[in-house]
Amino acid sequence: MPDLAQHALDVATGLGAAYADARLINAREQAIITRNGEVATLVDAESAGIGIRVIVNDAKGRGAWGFSSTSELTQAAVEAAAREAVAVAKASALAQRMTLTLAPQPPIVADWSSPVRRDPFDVNLDEKIALLLSADGAMRRVAGVSLARGYLSFTRLDKQFVSSAGARIRQRLIYSGAGCDATSFKDGGIQKRSYPNSFGGQHQLKGYELIDELDLPAHAIRVGEEAVALHGAAQCPSSTTTLILDSSQLGLQIHESIGHAIELDRMLGYEANYAGTSFLNASMLNTFEYGSPIVNVVADATIAHGPGLGTFAYDDEGVPAQSVPIIRAGRLTGLLTSRETAPSVGLSASGGSMRADGWNRIPLIRMTNVSLLPDPKGPADLNALIADTDDGIYMETNRSWSIDDKRLHFQFGTEIGWEIKKGRRGRMLKNPSYGGITPPFWRSCDAICGPAAWTLWGTPNCGKGQPPQTIGTGHGASPARFRNVDVGVAYDAE
């Protein structure tokens, strides 16, 4: 296989490419979904192919990208794809108006595998299905549960990257995910509760040990009971109040109102078709007050940060994983960059955030693990944070989200909420929601729980690009408190 990738580079450079790289990827994916006691979905698929990316310079030395791919891993097919990539680059160079400059990156030769204690593809399919049906049965034993679902998903990637500069990198990564949810229909109303998170649960760079840790059946009855109880809960009031978010909802808040906003290609206008651009611009770097002084955010792809969906050893340009300070003491200090975009804002090196969702897609700037750091001096956990809050609302587990194409105005709904009165969790609230504007919202953050309450969540379905690419990102957070937030803005009473 590496010989095919080298052949692609030789063909491309022989045709005049100033730079070329190739990614050989072999992927296997398995997904199991159960619904009301039956297996509803069972997918086990493999894919292999090569993607070839090249730069060809015009007569004035202005370079342009070309890309092509093929699933036919023969010398002839790879050569044809390399020729096509060069032809695309030459055509693109005719319209190029700016000089394409890549930040320097020494070529790396490496072989890395993500830590795995139990390979999920070695686990018997019957064991996986039995686990989901156990959780499914527990949820349906709760009177009033109309629909019970369970989810398992596994991905194994074998990625080989080579470049004309001399890089030779192989990475093997295994991802796992699991979750369950219960839905209750009553008197025209719908309520749902999920564990450990909505939209498929929790996802990390781990083996089957993640599934063992989550223990879906142990939480299934509570999930069902809360879904049914929500019908009788009070409607979330419309008011301006103190808001506490659990760490999973906060992870999505980070994703939408920070993560996408700091993608430099959006800021430069290179990316706009899918979900818009950004309210940020390069002049704000190191000056803009994004949040309050306790808000510290990093984009960290290193394994030291945790087993996130944005964790790897090298990105798809061969740049090592790194931790980039995004917000320090409330101030914007970093961005998600590539070798091409970094020089445009005066940076000497890429932050290592280029990834593609497969061999047939060109790499884009993508979130790694964009995480809100815990406050070492903050409340120890959620209970301590609630006890430190006179009045307000606590919201948990995402239900819906919406944000404008500049990443400014947002509205989120969660599955469940609780009233806080005099430092105690009070009555359950249904249909909770909140809205705001990104900078004032983050500036209103006045408490973040400590390290013991911090969780690295996985978002497996982040979309970007055209044609669309779907990739996993990570977001770490502890529960946090925000003052003077508009709540009850999204849903009507049942």
Same domain, 245 and 197: no
Q: Decide if 346 is inside a domain.
A: yes
pTM listed for this prediction: 0.96
- CA distances (Å), origin 49, targets 5, 26, 111, 356: 10, 7, 19, 13
Listed in sequence order, the residues at least 6 apart from 401 whose beta carbon sits closer than 8 Å to its beta carbon are 252, 256, 410, 411, 412, 413
Q: Decide if 387 is inside a domain.
A: yes
Same domain, 431 and 378: yes
Helix (H, G, I), strand (E, B) or coil at 493: coil
Same domain, 136 and 240: no
Same domain, 284 and 417: yes
- 83: buried, middle or exposed (CB in 10 Å: 19+, 13-18, 0-12)? middle
Q: How many domains does the chain contain in total?
A: 2
d(C-alpha 367, C-alpha 261), whole Å: 10
What distance lies between CA 260 and its chain's CA centroid? Answer: 10
Domain limit, last residue, from 232, 263, 298: 232
d(C-alpha 8, C-alpha 1), whole Å: 11
Same domain, 141 and 51: yes
Q: Decide if 482 is inside a domain.
A: yes
Residue 18 gets which letter from DSSP? Answer: S
- CA distances (Å), origin 360, targets 25, 72, 471, 475: 9, 12, 14, 26
Listed in sequence order, the residues at least 6 apart from 442 whose beta carbon sits closer than 8 Å to its beta carbon are 257, 258, 290, 291, 292, 295, 330
Domain limit, last residue, from 232, 258, 290: 232
Which of 481, 409, 448 has the alpha carbon at shortest distance from 295?
448
Q: Is-contact 58 21, C-beta < 8 A?
A: no
Taking the C-alpha atoms of 395, 399, 400 and 401 in order, what is their torsion angle to the nearest 10 degrees? 40
Q: Decide if 493 is inside a domain.
A: no
Same domain, 53 and 184: yes
Residue 112's CB is within 10 A of a number of other CB atoms, namely 15
Which of 298, 350, 366 has the alpha carbon at shortest distance from 327?
298
Which letter, b or e, does each residue of 48-70 get, where b requires 16 or more Cβ atoms within 10 Å of its Cβ?
Answer: ebbbbbbbbbbeeeebbbbbbbb
Residue 127 is part of which domain span?
Answer: 2-232
d(C-alpha 473, C-alpha 353), whole Å: 11
Q: Decide if 492 is inside a domain.
A: no
Q: Decide if 102 is inside a domain.
A: yes
Same domain, 219 and 356: no
Same domain, 299 and 206: no
Domain limit, last residue, from 215, 232, 249: 232
Same domain, 223 and 245: no
Same domain, 155 and 263: no
CATH number at residue 109: 3.30.2290.10
The pLDDT profile of the chain, 494 residues, written as one tens digit per residue, is: 668 999 999 999 999 999 999 999 999 999 999 999 999 999 999 999 999 999 999 888 889 999 999 999 999 999 999 999 999 999 998 888 778 999 999 999 999 999 999 999 999 999 999 999 999 999 999 999 999 999 999 999 999 999 999 999 999 999 999 999 999 999 999 999 999 999 999 999 999 999 999 999 999 999 999 999 999 999 999 999 999 999 999 999 999 999 999 999 999 988 887 889 999 999 999 999 999 999 999 999 999 999 999 999 999 999 999 999 999 999 999 999 999 999 999 999 999 999 999 999 999 999 999 999 999 999 999 999 999 999 999 999 999 999 999 999 999 999 999 999 999 999 999 999 999 999 999 999 999 999 999 999 999 999 999 899 999 999 999 999 999 999 998 876 55
Same domain, 224 and 241: no
Same domain, 192 and 245: no
